[in-house]
Structure 1
């Protein structure tokens, strides 16, 4: 790969220093929903031999197997339910709503209540080679943990929580056994993880970022598992997964923009010159991309567009430096960013002779539709954010209220109505529990406001008593009105007996 080849096809191959960075957006997000993320997480953590592309066919095979036994009026050996009852359970009691554009398609889509359900359902696409959303979650755990050993322990704890064990409710244990009896092609079990992406320890000191908060909250959600049914717990887990994954993707987008800004400055002879300056330039002191009650998608689109411009610029500089004999190994920390900026400054005349910045401007202009998120990677990021955060739009009116863990909802019932930031009741339960985890004594709603800020969601605690969030908190019994508390509201833990 050369700078000239990059100029011809800028999206095809990224420089190894970029693609191998822990701050690279890998895997690249595409369409997903909270249930797709959880299903993929099951497969990544306990079914490493089940490929994402194989899942739809497994579902069709299971449907055919059930139909065969229904036609022959025979029971399945080892199964408690007869074929008709099992078919009804999959296509009624456990059915997950299809999108309006999927209403005419026939495929198995069930709630990922137990691991075995993920063998047959929950891939991002029904054909081709779907992306693995669970790999993104695993990468976040490594980036959000203080060390490789801590990340491994967090991953093991998650696997145990996802497993169906003796302390799970009777329906979850029954369902896992029943699906296994109907011929699951995979066995649940954990293998060694080869995830190596992690933050530089010196960069993490005092740094708040979504992956770190997500990893902390994941521990709190795991600790609450014994306080509720399996279905209630997976709903809470999904709500944290959807907030954490999208916030992480947007945070990475902001970091890309900051790296590209530093590189442009360095080619002009300025930019960070010390490790401290590089760290300050790379990592934002405060991260915010959503404001409670406001429209959400325009700000996400701006971040995605900035990411695409930065990706083109960073790769052009890396290929340019390699062409003049100054290759860069990685770009995943403040120290490595400083080395990259020093190289760009030292070889700026040669980079200008290659017209690197002019090539970037030319490519950005040529790829304008992609940068505007109308196609390609940008369109995929927008689809990912919209479907993960947004309330599920069900094709069936009966299942319209199925999704209660959303972060975005339609402002009105009109199809053209914008998506606004408004937490669903399950998301409120999850966030209040996580915000109070590890604390002692009463906390005001300011604690919840600060917790949301860690994910880039801004809400003034003084507005909570009068807005939709305050209404949700009161309806769910999660606050006590107290004249002595800030804003007059004290948070009440939804699961006081839960322990991380």
Structure 2
């Protein structure tokens, strides 16, 4: 068992690790905000539409349009002829391709309505892409106070993603038109299996992005009636991309801290009860995105620590298994970590006889390229972070302003310019709305800084009036300069009165 793990460490994870609530599942790969939203459509309401089937469905739709054009015949129930429908997909709804995709032919459209996710928005065009929507579902369950609250949020999200008579006329027309050309699968709610949850004691004590994400998701859902479908999906994308990346980086930090606790226990130290395990397991403050500065190098370091921790945690679990001890789940709760540390402490001599520490060091030397994020899991996570947060780089230069919900942007026009933390206008609108949702009375920009800190975005609120965030807030009409307010700036709700939340409340 331990030997098999040492031979193939990335494919032989212990069950107590891979089934843990805070295991990194699904393993992230490349995904833009539109890929995540498209995958979310498929996970929540398009049974039978998977990431793997999307490219083939796109090719089938192209052939269907071509045959309809040749026969001068269109499907029953459509309003557009084949040429007009092709123009709608490839021009009006065009989602820009990346520079390395400029010569590839495939359908890629804005995920404005559910049915377009049947043939567009897969993370990759071949192989077995990851299901990014499952990451969002897992975050909803982890960030909710109970399974019932998580289910309520999931159902509310489905209703919001659905196109109803309350949506604008273009969204209703588009969903109807695409359904006529691509009738299957039908849009219907898929409850699916329940996901793991945070232990109640840990959820109250820990600072973690998934909890803030659920609050903000409910706030964005409540705001849907106040804007067009395109405006609303843009807001939703901006919250989803920031929340999902922050959650993944937070998981990296938790893994590193758990391995540190297990290592200390192997040396005779480590936490002895649930309270000390909770302090060891969860960070008091979470920072990964310093506003106005480069973030990718420090995130790469976090991913590298996660990979090292994954090796160490699994080696320890397999070592316990090898001596006849069934290891408890130490990566779902502080109580579980305390119990696992107790198992290790009770069997420390026998575990040391297996030379676990030396085996992990040997593995680290052998897997250097993976641990440095130059290949494998680490490289995939970095791709996810970069494309999830970064402003879309487009093959067509006329579409370079397409993405306005970004969190990272290029510091200059040079291709080698670093990525710095800077919010796009749509992200600013979304986060101001969410920061003010559910609160009464005026709030200063200090509230926004506190809100951003829940996602690991660090800044001094007194710097906001002078930095580019302050400039964005003024340009968008989201602040009032007031000498009585802290920092002289009061936040203005972007959509009028902030609606009440309809699900989870903090």
TMscore range, shorter length: over 0.9
Question: Where in structure 1 are there 5+ consecutive unaligned residues?
Answer: none
8 Å contact kept, 1:227–1:498: no
Structure 2 counterpart of 1:425: 425
C-alpha distance in 2 between matches for 1:356 and 1:48: 45
Q: What is the CA-CA distance between 1:184 and the residue it aligns to?
A: 2.7
Task: Indicate the SS of the match to 2:480.
Answer: strand
Task: Indicate the SS of the match to 2:307.
Answer: helix
C-alpha distance in 1 between matches for 2:173 and 2:356: 62
C-alpha distance in 1 between matches for 2:31 and 2:194: 22
C-alpha distance in 2 between matches for 1:46 and 1:497: 31
Q: What is the CA-CA distance between 1:498 and the residue it aligns to?
A: 4.5
Structure 1 counterpart of 2:200: 201
C-alpha distance in 2 between matches for 1:355 and 1:175: 62
C-alpha distance in 1 between matches for 2:64 and 2:80: 14
Structure 2 counterpart of 1:55: 54
Task: Report runs of 4+ in structure 1 exceeding 4 Å deviation.
Answer: none
Q: Does 1:126 align with 2:125?
A: yes
Deviations 1:288-315 (A, max 9, x none): 1110000010011010000000000000
Task: Indicate the SS of the match to 1:392.
Answer: coil
Task: Indicate the SS of the match to 2:461.
Answer: coil
Structure 1 counterpart of 2:260: 261
Structure 1 counterpart of 2:496: 496
Deviations 1:313-340 (A, max 9, x none): 0000000000001111312110110011
Question: Where in structure 2 are there 5+ consecutive unaligned residues?
Answer: 502-506
Q: What is the CA-CA distance between 1:398 and the residue it aligns to?
A: 1.4
Structure 2 counterpart of 1:441: 441
Structure 1 counterpart of 2:318: 319
Matches within 5 A, 1:129-278: 129-278=128-277
Deviations 1:140-170 (A, max 9, x none): 0000000011100110000000000110000
C-alpha distance in 2 between matches for 1:207 and 1:264: 22
C-alpha distance in 2 between matches for 1:485 and 1:456: 25
Task: Indicate the SS of the match to 1:409.
Answer: strand
Deviations 1:253-274 (A, max 9, x none): 0000000000000000111011
8 Å contact kept, 1:373–1:379: yes
Task: Indicate the SS of the match to 2:207.
Answer: coil
Structure 2 counterpart of 1:375: 375
Q: What is the CA-CA distance between 1:31 and the residue it aligns to?
A: 0.4
C-alpha distance in 2 between matches for 1:183 and 1:163: 17
C-alpha distance in 2 between matches for 1:205 and 1:78: 53
8 Å contact kept, 2:438–2:498: no
Deviations 1:358-409 (A, max 9, x none): 0000001110100000000000000000000000000001111000000000
C-alpha distance in 1 between matches for 2:26 and 2:451: 26
C-alpha distance in 2 between matches for 1:347 and 1:236: 52
* Residue range with higher mean Cα deviation, 178-187 or 309-318: 178-187
8 Å contact kept, 1:227–1:497: no
8 Å contact kept, 1:27–1:135: yes
Structure 1 counterpart of 2:504: none
Q: What is the CA-CA distance between 1:422 and the residue it aligns to?
A: 0.3
Q: What is the CA-CA distance between 1:98 and the residue it aligns to?
A: 0.2
C-alpha distance in 2 between matches for 1:424 and 1:390: 10
Structure 2 counterpart of 1:291: 290
C-alpha distance in 1 between matches for 2:465 and 2:12: 51
Q: What is the CA-CA distance between 1:203 and the residue it aligns to?
A: 1.1
- What count of residue pairs does the alignment treat as equivalent? 499
Matches within 5 A, 1:386-405: 386-405=386-405
C-alpha distance in 2 between matches for 1:95 and 1:62: 15
8 Å contact kept, 2:44–2:191: no
C-alpha distance in 1 between matches for 2:496 and 2:229: 18
Structure 2 counterpart of 1:468: 468
TM-score (norm 2): 0.98
Structure 1 counterpart of 2:80: 81
Task: Indicate the SS of the match to 2:420.
Answer: strand
Structure 2 counterpart of 1:40: 39
Q: What is the CA-CA distance between 1:71 and the residue it aligns to?
A: 1.7
C-alpha distance in 1 between matches for 2:400 and 2:273: 54
Structure 1 counterpart of 2:308: 309
8 Å contact kept, 1:39–1:123: yes
C-alpha distance in 1 between matches for 2:195 and 2:414: 46
Task: Indicate the SS of the match to 2:103.
Answer: coil
8 Å contact kept, 1:407–1:422: yes
8 Å contact kept, 1:168–1:230: yes
